Structures are given as C-alpha cells and as structure tokens.
Amino acid sequence: MNAPALALAAVHKRFGAVHALRGVDLRVPRGSIFALIGPNGAGKTTLFSVVCGFLRADQGSIDVLGGPPDVMRFKGRLAALPQDAVLGRELTVREHLTFLARLQGMSPETARREAERVLAIVDLGELAGRRAGTLSHGQVKRVGVAQAFLGDPELILLDEPTAGLDPRHAHDLREALRGHRGQRTIVISSHNLQELEAICDEAAFIEKGQTLEAGAVSALTAQDAEVFVVLAPGPEPIDQLRAHLGDVAVEWDTQRRVLRVSFQPGPNRAAEDVIAAVLRELLAQGARISGVGKGRSLEQRYLEATR
C-alpha cells in the first residue's frame, strides 16, 4: 500500500489555556481529495498550520509527504491556501505569483508562464497586471488559490477555498479541483458540506480538536449500506416492507416521510438490489414514490456524528 500523503497521530497544540488540538489522528491517502469538516473553532485551521510548519505541535507525530514538516524538503511539493494570510498591496498579482514561483526554484521565464497558467485556473488572467491591493475579497481568495497550484505540488491544503466566492467562480473552482483527482492530494476545509460531498473521496469530522470519524465519503455516508425512499402522501406500508425484506433495518420518519433501509452489503446485495426490492414491495402495496437515493448526505452524517 502507498504511504499516505499526510499522517497525523495524537497531535496536540495549545495556545495558552486554549487546547486547540487534542490528539488529532488523520491519514490522507495519496491522490485523494480529502475533506476536513468541523464547526468554527474545531481546530481545522490550526491543523493546516501545523502540517505546513507555521505552528509547532506540542505533542504527537506528523508525517507530511514521507517526513516531518520541513520547509526545505517541502519546497514546491506542499502548497497551501492559508485562511487569513494577506498579500502585499503594492505589487501586481503577476509580480506576486512570479516571485512565489521563483522561490520554488523556477527560472524567471518559467515562473512568469506558471503565473499565467495558475491565474487561468481561477479565471483571473485579465487581472494579472492589477495591484493586489485593488482586488475584491473574492479575487484575493482566487489569487490565494492560484498560488497554491504553482508548480503542481504533490499536496495542496486549501482552507475554505470557496468562502467569499460568487456561485459561478465557486462552481468553476470545484470543477478545477475535481479535475485534479488522482493526480495530487488535496485537503479541503469548508463549511459547505454539499460541495465537499461532491468533490471529495475521503473525509474526517473534527470537533473540539479531535477526530470524531474519518474514512471514505462513500462509507461515511453509507452509500453502500443504506437506501432511502421518499413517499408522497398516501399509503405507508412500512410493516409490510419490514416483513418482506427480513434482515434489514427499516426506519420511518413520519414528518419528512422518508423511509430508510439499512443493510449489510455483500457480493449479492448491492444498494441497487435493495432499492429494486424496496420499490417493488412499496409499489405493490400502493405507495406513491416521490424520491429515491443511496446513503445519507454528508451533512446528515456530520450532524449525527457531532450530536
């Protein structure tokens, strides 16, 4: 098995009396798009900062790209969008990006080309000559994302990359991130769980500086072990369904009219097979179906995990 891009074990970080990280464990597989999910103050930004070496952990082990956090080993291999870092106001966007690319070891010409390339990713090519101090909040955020892609690093940490972006640019950025799946490891922290569910392969729930749950998004959302059916007003043949399906758990939410069927997945029992069986029985009993799906949303799972 490939070594993970990022592995943290029992990491602690205190700021005076505030215990920001209380033994975080995390394993981010190489090539995955990983979601870091948690409420404000959960420790996500602190975690990113520890991984980048901006903050020193008080305790625990941190393995980033096969070794401890060390900037000269990272040089160009690890990039990050720091949440609240500000670019200087006086120089242009192009000058900033060219400078950062040159610090990664590129020649002046390569650095200029690279700056143009990453600006195109965030649709800011036309603002390359603008002073950074004249950009809007969203544009600054996009420049921040662009600098994280300089030189195609192996591991990219993006702290709330779409916060403050308009819907169009948020969508474009999501698509751009999705396009990197399998090519490099990307860790994203965001409060937009729908967004994370759409683009991430793996996720971890963090709360009060601890990892609550982590794993593949499909496993966390029980994509292979749970199906749901939304019933329109009318017959509610729940007991008949339970009797028909046998060894599965059936939950009925009367208020939202959502029927959930949890099962043990196996070689001959995929979610699609269970959906077919459930729908056959419901239709046979005269129920009116208004929606069908697999698993739970990441948001639901997060709310359950943090309840």
Nearer to another protein, 77 or 244 (CB): 77
Output the smallest distance, CB 118 to another protein, in A. Answer: 13
Output the smallest distance, CB 110 to another protein, in A. Answer: 14
Answer for the pair 124, 93: CB distance below 8 angstroms, yes or no: yes
* Long-range contacts (CB closer than 8 Å, 24 or more residues apart) made by 122-131: 122/146, 122/169, 122/172, 122/173, 122/176, 123/169, 123/172, 124/93, 127/93, 128/92, 128/93, 128/94, 129/92, 129/93, 129/94, 130/92, 130/93, 131/89, 131/90, 131/91, 131/92
Q: Which of 1, 84, 246, 266 binds another protein (CB under 8 A)?
A: 84
Under rule CB under 8 A, residue 190 binds another protein: no
Under rule CB under 8 A, residue 18 binds another protein: no
Output the smallest distance, CB 52 to another protein, in A. Answer: 6
84 by Cβ neighbours in 10 Å (0-12 / 13-18 / 19+) ranks as: exposed
Nearer to another protein, 23 or 53 (CB): 53
Does residue 199 come out as left (phi exceeding 0), alpha (psi in the -120 to 50 range) or beta? alpha
Under rule CB under 8 A, residue 104 binds another protein: yes
Q: Which of the residues 32 through 61 are near another protein (CB under 8 A)?
A: 49, 52-56
Among 100-108, 118-126, 209-217, 267-275, the segment contacting another protein (CB under 8 A): 100-108
Under rule CB under 8 A, residue 109 binds another protein: no
Q: Which of 29, 31, 91, 260 binds another protein (CB under 8 A)?
A: 91
- The Cα 1–Cα 206 span in angstroms is 26
**Which residues here bind another protein, judged by CB under 8 A?**
49, 52-56, 71-72, 74-76, 78-80, 82, 84-88, 90-91, 95-96, 99-100, 102-105, 147
